[in-house]
Structure 1
Amino acid sequence: MMDSHDRSHRAEESTGRSPEAAAPPTPGNRLPAPRIARTILIAALLGYTLLTTTSILTAGVSPTAEATGLLLLLPITALQLLHSTPGNNQASPPRTRLTLVLQALLTYLPLVIFHAYWETMAGYLAGSLLLLLPPRVAWPLYATVGLSMLIPPLLTGHPLLHGIYLTHTTLLTGLVLYGLTRLAHLTTHLHTTRGELARQAVTGERLRFARDLHDILGFSLSAITRKSELIDQLIPTHPDRAMQEVDEVLALAGQSLADVRKAASGYRAISLQQEIRTAQSMLHAADIHVHIGIELPTVAPHIDTALATTLREAVTNLLRHGNATRCRITAVHRDGVVRLLIENDGADPAYHNPASHSGNGLDNLQARMTAIGGRLETGHGGDGTFRLLAEAPAKPSESPAEPMGASVPAPVGRPRMS
């Protein structure tokens, strides 16, 4: 099962596709809410068309005029459906002008025959203007279309009040169609955005897990490797010491397994002070002279975890990419800021790992420190030293613990080096 998963992952990498790319997003109009909004809009359009159809059939005009009016309803309704389609407001200006002019002709020419019975179609035109044109142009034209409905009643001898009614109906119809169309568009956009946010959340969780796994296993495997090499050297001459190292390797392996499980469950708190003790033991196993200085109160768990992870990565890089003989680790609290400083010799400024997957630990640390409002600085000295400084705002609890002394006891059974 793992083999098939690995083959699938390698196939995705070889084709340049990610898991997200392999699963295209569901179009917004296939989701329930956007589909309902679109259905309401179409129902409103068809309702207005049916209302005009009824008005034509009861207008008392000739059968030829009735047939002409019913035929004209088809293209004007189709145009309105086109104008209400999501994304149609991004159409080219020539196409927009053409469809609006055509809709205006289909709106005003039939008024000569049907007079007030065609007023709903003017509402269609008013809504299309709001949907397709920039606001500074659309709203004046919208008002013009509404006011133009004052003219037909005056030409047919109807009172002015009837023209006011037609104007009100036209403007209201335009607003209703504009509002329903915008609602359908916004609902679709909302669901599309929600899908994108969900995919981003999944991607972020994958990155978090990859970062945690890198930080956990990079440190633990380096420690286990170093201690295993030491055990191999100690077995012939110091079997008791070798057994102590075996116990520490087993403890490291167990802690690594526990950390991986915590990372998979989404939360993994690490203690900086405990990590300093572990780092000291590992550096001693590598015959590196260690000096420890700690003066810390209790800090917030997420600050403690970020700094402990920084220490892990720094020590891992020290063992993998350098030839150190001395290392200084200092963790202090000054002026509301926690500062973690790691300095070691034996660093090669020109070192570059040619492997294609050589890791991105410092980038991970920079992201972690930025996320908690801190910063990370690294640099090489002229004498072959490497310096890493991590700073983060301290947020002590209500009852901070007393600062620790300036040193951490060495592991039992091992002389302390300072």
Structure 2
Amino acid sequence: MTEDSLPDQARTDRLVRMGQSPRDLREALRKSVWIVIWLVFLSSPVHDLVSGDHTTPAVVAGWVGLAGFVAIYLTLVFRNMGKASAGTLSVALMILTLGALATVLCLTLGPPWLGLFVYVSVACGTAFPLRVSYWTIPLTAVVMLLVGLHGGEEDARNLVLLVVLIGYAMTGVRQLVRTTVELRRARATVAQLAANEERLRLARDLHDLLGHSLSLITLKSELAGRMLPDHPDKAAQQVADIEQVSRQALVDVREAVTGYRRPRLAGELAGAQVALTAAGVVADLPAEPDLHDVSAESESALAWTVREAVTNVVRHSGARRCTVELVRRQTLDGAVLELSVEDDGSGGSAGGTPGNGLTGLTERLEKEAGSLEAGRTRRGFRLVARVPLTGDRAPVGPADDTVGSGA
């Protein structure tokens, strides 16, 4: 499964990471494309400058003004996209400078330069706080209409809706980027808290397991040392007690380590969600499994079942959808917890022979008095695992009725 997931991980690494700083020059260039591509509205000013309709000083001044305008615009967008604390005095001055440049260039060089107000609107939606963006965006449209009265009223009317819509759209994009950043930070915080909690649990369990035993071993060792010259028989008894305590402590540690290593169903379901999503498979999994009356060994067997089944779906099935269900059923043998993994692919063992994975799962489940069924369906492949519930009581028959109740 690890080898098959490498191509998916490589594709993920090649994607543009929303809300994160670029890791290298290549990613910075890819991120820049998403912003630079919107400079398409500068085609009209550029065409106006190269058309030869203006004097040489006017053309030079136009190129200088356009270069300054683009530099300020890109600086604003790159520095403030997705940030919560936008709207400082420097940002306000930069946006005012953008508006002033757009107004002067439009009044001096003509209506083809009205498209600059689109970028002023985008800057307002990107850098200002939302409460400020909501009124500066329509204000930009009004200024453009007033400037358009100077020979480009029709062009201004055609652009007014675009200026307003793109400005408000950028406020939504900024909120999306900021939410993505906050979500990523929250996930990192949750992971760190979970790791801290696990370390605390490990420390607490080790103290409970070994604290008393090691203290007892130390005490008995001191007693044996004092008894050894005059009472060797009593010292030998203390040594025997030390051996018994140490052996019990070793057993307790091994049981604790086994519990730490035992897979949990909730963790395997979370891992299955990640694996299926990375493989492009639509996953439908239960959020919180109900494990009441399920023994730890049975939960471990179900966790191994989820891991093996999802691995087969990702590696062999070619499925587009995978559904995992966890339900309680009443059977003739008693109440059971049933886990089913169904996909719409072409999975299964070649030649109809169970593979080593399914054979191992069958042995695990049979050890816990459970069962495993796997086979093709009309829509794909389905695997069903069942384990008994510990809270279930077997029905009492006449031969087992020790109190004569006739039940």
TM-score norm. by structure 2 comes to 0.49
Q: Which has the larger radius of gyration?
A: 1
Structure ranking higher on relative contact order (CA contacts 8 Å, 6+ apart): 1
